[in-house]
Every structure is written in C-alpha cells, then in structure tokens.
Amino acid sequence: MVNLLKYHNTSYTIHNIAALVDGEAKGNTEFSICKPGRIEHVEPHDITFMANKSYEHFLSECNNVCVLVPRNFAKQPSETQAFIYVDNPHAAFAKVIDLFYSEDTYEYGIHPSAIIASTAVIHPESTILAGVVIEDNCTIAKGAVIGYNCVLQSNTSIGEYTILFPSVVCYSDTVIGDNCRIHSGAIIGSDGFGYVEQKDGSFIKITHAGNVHIKNDVEIGANTTIDRAVLGSTLIEDGVKLDNLIQIGHNVSIGEHTALAGHSAIAGSAHIGPRNRFGGQVGMIGHISTADKVIVYAQSGIGKTIDKPGVYFGSPTQDRMSEIRRLTATQQLPDLIKTINVLQQKIEILEQKIIELS
C-alpha cells in the first residue's frame, strides 16, 4: 500500500543524472547532487528544472545547483552552476525525483479487521488493510492494494497492481483495470442524476442498472465521483488522468490518455475523445461529444459538439482565435461607444447648420 514517500539520503554525480535523462551536462559538474528542489527555493547540491522562461531570473540564485534546461536554451551556466540540456526538462525532472524518493509498501496479506465475504476471490499476493469491507463475488488481482476503510460492494473487480487509497468506495459491479491509482474519497459507481419530472413538479427516480468500467493505467484524484450508467457502462479508457473533485455523469465515456483538471463536470451521456485536455472548472453538457486532440481552457463551457481537433475556450466554447477576436472587440466597446457619441453630436450640429442655411 502506498502510504508515505521515503527519502533516500544518497547523492549522485551530475554525469550520472545526465545519463539517466539522456541529457548533455555543461558547466561545473564537480559537485554532487543530494536532492531535488524548486527553482524558487533551491539550496546548494540541489537539482531543479526550468521549462518556462518566466523562471529564468531565478537562475542567478542557483549556486552549486544543477538545472535541467531545454536543449535550445542559449544561456550558458555560471562558474557555480551545471546545466543538463534535455528535450523536456519537466519530464526529466520527474525521473530525477524517483532517484531520491520511493513509495513505502506493505507486505501482502489481509488485516484481521477486514470484513470479506466468503465468495470474494483475493489473490494471495495482494494487500487488504484495516477496516476494509469486501462484499460477495468481488475479485482482487495480484499486487492490488486496498487501503484503509475502503468499501467494495458486490461483484467489484480490481485489476493487477491497482491501488485504492484509504476510504475509496466502489459501488456494485464496478470494474477497475490494471495499474490504476484511485485516491482517497473517490466514489465509483454511485447513481447518476437521473429523474423524470412529473406534471406536479415531483420526480420519478430512474434506476441505474449499469456500472462503471475503468480500464488500465488510470489515475483518479481525491473526492472525484464517477456515476454508474443507467444501462451499459460509464467508461474510462486506458491512460485517463482525472484530477481531484471532478464529477463524471452517468453513461459518459472518456477516450484514452485524456486529462481533466480539477472541478471539471461532465454531464450524462457526454463523450470525450482521446487525448483531450480540459483545464480546471470546465463544464460539458450531456449528449454531446468532442473530437480527438481537443484542448479546452479553464472555466470554459462546452455547449455543443466539438468535431475538430484544436484549442477552444469561452462559454459557450469557441475556436481560440475566434474567441480572442471577440474578447478584443468587447474590450474596445467603451472606446467605440465614446467615439459613436462624439460622432452623433457632430452629426446633430451639422444637421442644425444645414437647417439654418436652408
């Protein structure tokens, strides 16, 4: 069970790290690297990265520090610095962090306080921690970890090496694939917001008889909720990454390798294409879809189908350049109104003069 990050008190040479990240080291490469650090708060013997030029001014404070920089970065390191030139500094830094930190694990086994139905199938090389409840006909695969106080309702399936952090709840018939990470407080398979309004304004609840199917290599953030389908499956494809506090409605499908930032909300029966990127607080109405490789800026509202790849923002969403032109024009409105008022006054003066001359 991933519980705590362990720091490994060790050091590496700059050339060791350059080899790891397929980079080219330049500058003072004689000092050792003891830990990763943020470029805003580095200490001697740290390694950090600079992927955005807005952080370039911090380089002057990086003494006895190694910095991962883009290959096309023109600036040379000072006498007290080392630069490692790489294709993607952020991705390279992710590899470096793993040199110094690893995730703590628990031994295989079932905690005595866990409540497990006799019909559940638990692989002997899995981990079930304290307070877990596992109902009838659930299956837990090899290497899976079910964290403290998780609840798996009947017929739930957890794939190999998937981790459920503490207090995750999976409603009945949930299917989760291999190598997934479901963070604390996530609710998988609760009923969707499905009702039929009556003439008197009351509601009839629609039975949600489907499930949630999460495929492989998916990560779901803390307190995110994914509703079960009315019929069939709410589907999360391979490699999807969902941030914290996201709402996924019933019968939604999310294409492979799509990423949604926090507070996004996707209404029922919407279909998000593969390799989409949604910023924070994006809302999408139900029964529409997006194409492959769509990027939507934060706080946008998707109100109709997006059928072409591209970058969109606004509410309702528009193509980025169209929306920029509209916003630019909107910002000019006060000045335009003033100009129109001045012109109107001049026209009135001219009209009065014409009347006087006639």
Task: Report the distance separating Cα 329 and Cα 352, nearest Å.
Answer: 33
Name the residue type at position 57. H
Catalytic residue among 183, 250, 263, 271: 250
Of 140, 130, 170, residue with least CA distance to 152: 170
Task: Report the distance separating Cα 169 and Cα 252, nearest Å.
Answer: 19
Name the residue type at position 292. D
Of 233, 61, 212, 192, residue with least CA distance to 50: 61
CB atoms under 10 Å from CB of 352, counted, come to 10
Listed in order, strand segments (DSSP E) in 72-222 are 81-86, 101-103, 109-110, 115-116, 121-122, 127-128, 133-134, 139-140, 145-146, 151-152, 157-158, 163-164, 169-170, 175-176, 181-182, 187-190, 195-197, 203-205, 211-214, 219-220
| Residue 31 backbone phi and psi in degrees, to 5 | -85, 155
CA 128-132-137 angle, to 5 degrees, is 85
DSSP alpha helices (H): ranges in the chain? 14-20, 89-100, 320-357
Maximum alpha-carbon separation in the chain: 105
Task: Report the distance separating Cα 76 and Cα 296, nearest Å.
Answer: 36
Q: Decide if 250 contacts 232 (C-beta within 8 A).
A: no
User: Is 45 considered catalytic here?
Assistant: no
Catalytic residues: 250
